[in-house]
Amino acid sequence: MLLFEKSLVWFRRDLRSFDHAALHHALTLSRQVYCAFIFDRSILDELPKYDRRVEFIHASLLELDTALRELGGGLIVRHADAAQAIPQLAAELGVDAVFCNHDYEPQAIARDAAVGTALKKAGRELRTYKDQVIFEKDEVLSLAGKPFSVFTPYKNAWLKKLQTELAPAELPAYEVEALSAHFAPLPPATPAIPTLSELGFEKTNLSELHIPTGMQGGQDLLDDFAERMRNYDSTRDFPAVKGPSYLSVHLRFGTVSIRALVRRALDAIRIGAGGSGAAVWLSELVWRDFYFMILYQHPHVRERAFKPDYDAIVWESGPHAEEIFQAWCDGRTGYPLVDAAMAQLNQTGYMHNRLRMVTASFLIKDLGIDWRWGERYFAEKLNDFDLAANNGGWQWASSSGCDAQPYFRIFNPLTQSEKFDPDGKFIRRYLPQLAKLSGEHIHAPWRVPTMELQMAGVTLGQNYPHPLLQHDEARARTLQRYAVVKKVTVEDERP
């Protein structure tokens, strides 16, 4: 039943023309549907001119526009403050309603509330839908009717709800193509999508890194990963191995559908083709829903610890703290796995998940730096930056978050290196100055005899730094630092 003569779909972090909740509902309820994307100045104006994420979005929008044109519509793109631009565009087009998908970040919630108020004053509606998660907000609750704060019971409840309510073998996709007759053609003289330079940005090394963009890029990665999914549980921790799906940036910007990914995992589990890897990968997708729920239910985590007592910890401060933090950022800690991981982040905008844990633990529990500093740096650098997951990961590493590792669990960067990059293949890729060191010596150059260092072309303090500190000593300081939270147990749970 048609409720609206004309509507507008506002694309945000859902840059695809298929299995799209807001687009489906708009096409179902409206005689004519326009589509728009706003390069939001309130976000973009704070970014550097070289930002891979903006280039990824731009390339993905070009593909989305082409797909929408083939369906009979097209994409109206503007560079403005979204909170003002959407009500203005709605007025220009004379639409009755604006459709979009939920966003769970505090700033986005405030922006959407402002847009909804402006539209209502003009006699228009704002309709929003769940799209980027399977379950949201308070859809998965404990038996007591409260939000979970521990992952495993949340996951169990999530899976039970999926089985009983959504018939996972037929997890529905939102139809678009069959409703394409309701797309409105672009208004006359609609400007072309602005170029990167017109937006104030420049091309990055995105294409040189062979990071696929858009809907087709996401589909290609999913198809490739499907062939490797069964081994995901055994390969995902080794940064030199092609183990991950590499879909995180596509999930972040919605060029893939979370429902399609969950269906793929469930199908593999059901027919036995996914081995144990498919179940582990599905758990990672559930973690994503979990962190979105935590951010929605506890928005204070954006600024403070999930566990308030942990805000009493006294972190390193002053010029020395700034100096060692910068060394961490630059990959100059003297611990090769940490430095190679930071080089990967700085050069590519990507960091392997195991290494995210290692580098975060090193910053917090070896260097004694406030987890918020690291969280902000990752937010600046990660192609797949997502507030909920990034915050959740950093609070996990600092032991201050929900279901976080115990405060006395401190990653040993040397044993992590020996275990997960045993031959030093990953280290050699990002620290070529250490390439000639043997697999035995590459993890701890400071332990290598001077003659062997010289033969390998390594001079500590010149082309590779001395270690900033000794891990065992740093660990002892961390246990003292965390004593303000709880009486320290001297147990060492090295992961």
Nearest in space to 253 (alpha carbons), one of 37, 421, 414: 37
**Active-site annotation holder among 125, 136, 139, 284:** 284
10 among known catalytic residues: no
**Active-site annotation holder among 10, 158, 371, 396:** 371
Separation between Cα atoms, residue 335 and residue 443, nearest integer Å: 7
Q: What is the dihedral of CA 392, 394, 397, 402, to 10 degrees?
A: -30
328 among known catalytic residues: no
Answer yes or no: are the C-beta atoms of 304 and 345 closer than 8 Å: no
Strand partners, 69: none
3-state DSSP percent of the chain in helix, strand and coil, to 5? 50, 10, 40
Separation between Cα atoms, residue 250 and residue 56, nearest integer Å: 9
- For the chain, how big is the Rg over CA atoms in Å? 24
Answer yes or no: are the C-beta atoms of 100 and 10 closer than 8 Å: yes
Among left, alpha and beta (phi > 0; psi -120 to 50; other), residue 457 is left
Residue 36 phi, psi dihedral angles, 5° rounding:
-145, 155
446 among known catalytic residues: no
**Active-site annotation holder among 316, 353, 380, 452:** 353
**Active-site annotation holder among 136, 139, 175, 315:** 315
Residue 133 phi, psi dihedral angles, 5° rounding:
-135, 165
Separation between Cα atoms, residue 215 and residue 213, nearest integer Å: 7
Separation between Cα atoms, residue 5 and residue 31, nearest integer Å: 5
The DSSP code for 300 is G
Answer yes or no: are the C-beta atoms of 60 and 13 closer than 8 Å: no
371 among known catalytic residues: yes
First and final C-alpha spacing in the chain: 56
Q: What is the DSSP string of 356-409?
A: HHHHHHIIIIIS---HHHHHHHHHHH-TT--HHHHHHHHHHHTT-STTPPPTT-
**Active-site annotation holder among 10, 287, 328, 373:** 287
Residue 431 CA neighbour count, 13 Å, CB half: 29
Separation between Cα atoms, residue 342 and residue 347, nearest integer Å: 8
Task: Name the token pair of 418.
Answer: 């020996």
Separation between Cα atoms, residue 428 and residue 329, nearest integer Å: 19
Task: Name the token pair of 354.
Answer: 């195991």
Query: β-strands 97-101, 125-129: how paired?
Result: parallel
Separation between Cα atoms, residue 214 and residue 68, nearest integer Å: 13
Task: Name the token pair of 172.
Answer: 């529905």
**Active-site annotation holder among 10, 158, 394, 396:** 394
Active site residues: 284, 287, 315, 353, 371, 394
